[in-house]
Amino acid sequence: MNKLKVALVQQSLRQNRDETIAATVAAIREAAAQGAQLVTLQELHTGSYFCQTEDTDCFEMAESIPGPSTELFGALARELGIVLVTSLFERRAPGLYHNTAVVLDRDGSIAGTYRKMHIPDDPAFYEKFYFTPGDLGFEPVQTSLGKLGVLVCWDQWYPEAARLMALAGAELLIYPTAIGWDPRDSDAEKKRQQDAWITIQRAHAVANGIPVLSVNRVGFEADPSGVGAGIQFWGSSFVAGPQGEFLAHAGQEEELLVVEVDRRRSEDVRRIWPFLRDRRIDAYQDLVRRYRD
């Protein structure tokens, strides 16, 4: 199956969780109606991006896996015959929580999970308060459509994560994301940040010779504490081919991207750009050091 039709659901927050999930379900149904076989949702898509503040009440939003969301979206995946990449706030045990991507196969079963490995702790992105770093490693999820290298948001800045997924046989790199601007930033700074975000992910496609799917939230979400200025999520979800070329690119409004990916091109590109062949694996020992003093 060389040709694969993929969909990215770029969505804004609704008034409450039920309305947000209903809008997501409607978008998934539309994607399937347009022939999508693989549908990817944005980071923490069932509710708000709650990490703008540190609030212990937010832990009440976490859920087990399997749990209510995997049951709902699993049933939808089975009904529509699609592979669905979801993103959940996982309650693993009392006091132990993760930012977890769950991949649901076409029969509705959980094909695999990935727990976010790189956890930021920056103004308006206080994720270390909520999420324990992942412990499942960089292992692709085997599905009926192939091996999916699922990573999450902050992971997208690390070429090591993309490379390890590719070395483990990932056929696609998928990044559910929640990233945006501080509204107080200058227009020039906003452009630099967004350009950097797009550039590094396209570079992962180039360096590894495989497509990249990046799906981001969109719209303004206020800081519930009132301390910060909130986040304007910039959307701009995209699909890049194995040479980093844009196959589809969303704007800064709600949008459903549906596009065909030719996976055969990964083989063709790796033959002319054999980066994996020419890697000097005998000389990379210092990569496991924090810094060379």
Burial profile 190-215: b = 16 or more Cβ within 10 angstroms, e = fewer: beebbeebbeebbebbbbbbbbbbbb
> Using one digit for the tens of pLDDT, what is the confidence trace for 76-111?
999 999 999 999 999 999 999 999 999 999 999 999
134 within some domain: yes
How many distinct structural domains can be found in the chain? 1
Note whether residue 215 is domain-resident: yes
Is residue 133 domain-resident? yes
Residue 173, domain extent: 3-288
Q: What are the pLDDT digits (tens) for 218-251?
A: 999 999 999 999 999 999 999 999 999 999 999 9
Counting Cα atoms < 13 Å in the Cβ hemisphere of 208 gives 27
Strand pairing report for 172-177 and 146-150: parallel
What CATH number is given to the structural domain containing 142?
3.60.110.10
Q: Is 139 among the domain residues?
A: yes
DSSP assignment letter at 127: G
**From edge to edge, which strands make up the β-sheet containing 180-181?**
180-181, 231-234, 218-221
**pLDDT score of 39:** 98
List alpha helices for 83-223, DSSP H.
159-167, 187-208
Looking at residue 1, its pLDDT comes to 74
Whether 250 is covered by a domain: the verdict is yes
- Average of per-residue pLDDT across 252-266: 97
Q: Are strands 38-41 and 83-93 parallel, antiparallel or unpaired?
A: parallel
Residues 39-89 have pLDDT tens digits of: 999 999 999 999 999 999 999 999 999 999 999 999 999 999 999 999 999
Whether 293 is covered by a domain: the verdict is no
Mean per-residue pLDDT over the chain, rounded: 97
In a domain, 262, yes or no: yes
Banded pLDDT at 265 (limits 50, 70, 90): very high
In 3D space, the residue among 45, 34, 29, 37 whose CA is nearest the CA of residue 218 turns out to be 45
Q: Which residues form the catalytic set?
A: 43, 116, 153
Alpha helices in 68-171 (DSSP H): 68-80, 159-167
**Residues 110-128: tens digit of each pLDDT:** 999 999 999 999 999 999 9
Provide the pLDDT for residue 40: 98
**Is 156 domain-assigned?**
yes
> How high is the pLDDT of residue 96?
98
For residue 285, the model assigns a pLDDT of 95
